[in-house]
Structure 1
């Protein structure tokens, strides 16, 4: 395999805060199955253990990122933080399915002009292993959901408080677009994804071209195998899922988003209705969203500090 001088992070990497990798002649690592079997417990975080094998893989990961300093110490600190995060993730009842992690891994590989198998080979050669990197991805995605939910609870002002504050400042209630949406899913079993993806994309594009609104989607779907149509109801522009926000904004009644690969298969959204609204709820969301953007950078660190202060951390 031709070595790449640097692994570009792309949008997924930015979202996961992954530093650039260096793939210029990666040094083969001696870490292997025997090392995993011979690993020793080095840190206990509450009831979760961090082993010498975990530390070795994370140290290799840091080397791949060209991090500086005492890499073993940094590895221990990162793994300790991740154990704390996992405890909060479990308490929040958040579970990131393997399909979502695999899709993120595949997208990250594709963004760096590599196949998932090529990326796995590079990670394994460097001593990181694809399994370790995927677990890193899983924690980052879930932790982001924990912080977002926590931020919204902390920052969501009451509608009455928001309106009063706006009137004090001489402002007007903001307007937003309210969308009535349908979701069309061309289901692909995970074990058949590679063989069916191209065909399902074509089928989805064909159906999308025939959609004239939400009245005929169910009828069209019955003519194609394994297609699900879901009514998503009314969604304000400020509450559109991140995955679809850019695709939906600006669409009018009867229009559809582009076809998109997801962990479930291939999907697109249909706009049943789009209308401008202005009320207390929109004002509340507008103010709360701004508050989240202003304070979001520190909330993760603050919550992690809280978790650390109440945790039982034993180093051996």
Structure 2
């Protein structure tokens, strides 16, 4: 869960990106594994091989895509290589643990174990490694887009003041939440229904003893693999969609219910709340207009992504062979 710019980061999360892939159709009979090494495209000195294109075409096929899959695969991989180069340039690194967790979650959403997903990927000619690279790019690109929003999507204070003047000088009012995040860690390799149920029980035990945010760490002592993080003060428009309802329902000095996440089992503690109305609130509220719904978030994400990728294409060096 990313709280640096929660509402933006949340809709660029791996789960959202991978959900767009949809359910996979397991091919029958299975493909032969692709393995060509002939260089077909060079993007900023980085090679895309015939084997890469074959794997991506196989991936497109199990998604049910139609048309010239080889051509579509070449175009997708070209764009992804531009994104990978930009990720490296800007120091965006996705850990193996994050990728493996997203892969496991995707397998689960398609009602498969990781071993079954590996088998299907190999049989389809995609390979787990190719799909995990796809996941890595999706996650990294989401973080770049989130950063782009922070750089360019937030309107200036002067623009916010002008907007307020048009509204008769009225300043928006928002609730500010002081939050604490409590994570009962479950490594992706050990994630099982039984262990997740046990961790939920542990989380509820700690919640039942919760008094205030000052004592959370001392109360968590002796509990295995528990991380407590202070998230600071977060305005209501910044709350992540998956937590917004629960946080709003919780009073100060209480907690949300536990959520299963990529890290394990989590809950949020609401340390305190207060109503605020200042230029900072106006700046945030006006900047996030239109992104309060899933459709609005998706449209904003698509707009920023298209603009960013167009810039990379214009300055990139792409050679097709």
Unaligned 5+ residue runs, structure 2? 1-12
**For 2:122, what is the secondary structure of its paired residue?**
helix
> Equivalents in 2 of 1:264, 1:237: separation in Å?
24
Deviations for 1:91-111, whole angstroms, at most 9, x for unmatched residues? 222112222222222222222
Q: Runs of 5+ in structure 1 lacking a partner?
A: 1-10
Q: Map 1:188-199; keep pairs closer than 5 Å.
A: 188-189=186-187, 192-194=190-192, 196-199=195-198
Query: What TM-score comes out, normalization by structure 2 length?
Result: 0.84
Matched, 1:260 2:265: no
State how 1:9-48 maps to structure 2 within 5 Å: 14-16=16-18, 18-23=20-25, 25-31=27-33, 35-36=34-35, 38-48=36-46
Question: Residue 3 of structure 1 corresponds to which residue in structure 2?
Answer: none
1:77 aligns with 2:75: yes
8 Å contact from structure 1 (residues 58, 75) kept in 2? yes
C-alpha contact 2:15 2:102 (8 A) present in aligned 1? no
1:236 maps onto 2:235 in alignment: yes
Between 175-184 and 244-253, report the one with greater CA deviation. Answer: 244-253
Q: Give the equivalent residue in structure 1 for 2:209.
A: 210
Q: Is this contact kept in 2: 1:29–1:127, CA < 8 A?
A: yes
The CA deviation at 1:20 is 3.2
Q: Deviations over 1:156-198 (max 9, x none)?
A: 2222320222212336221111111112222345554558544
Q: Distance in 2 between matches of 1:246 and 1:110?
A: 25
Distance 2:17 2:188 in 1: 24
| Superposition pairs of residues 148-167 of structure 1, within 5 angstroms | 148-167=146-165
Is the CA contact 1:41–1:51 (under 8 Å) kept in the aligned structure 2?
yes
Residue 26 (structure 1) shift: 3.3
2: CA distance, partners of 1:169 / 1:275: 24
Offset of residue 17 of structure 1: 6.1
Q: For 2:217 and 2:24, locate their aligned partners in 1 and report how far apart those are by CA, in whole Å.
A: 49
Moved more, 200-209 or 75-84: 200-209
* Worse overlay, 39-48 or 160-169: 160-169
SS of corresponding position for 1:216: helix
SS of 1:42's equivalent in the other structure is strand
> Number of matched residues?
302
**Bigger relative contact order, structure 1 or 2 (CA pairs below 8 A, ≥6 apart):** 2
Q: Helix, strand or coil: the match of 2:213?
A: coil
Q: Is the CA contact 2:101–2:188 (under 8 Å) kept in the aligned structure 1?
A: no
Deviation at residue 255 of structure 1 after TM alignment: 1.7
Larger mean CA deviation between 227-236 and 255-264 belongs to 255-264
Q: Distance in 2 between matches of 1:244 and 1:22?
A: 29
- Aligned-CA RMSD value: 2.5
Query: 2: CA distance between counterparts of 1:25 and 1:130?
Result: 16
Deviations 1:199-246 (A, max 9, x none): 333222211222132233122111323323222221112223455334
Structure 2 residue 311 is the aligned partner of structure 1 residue 306? yes
Alignment correspondent of 1:219 = 218
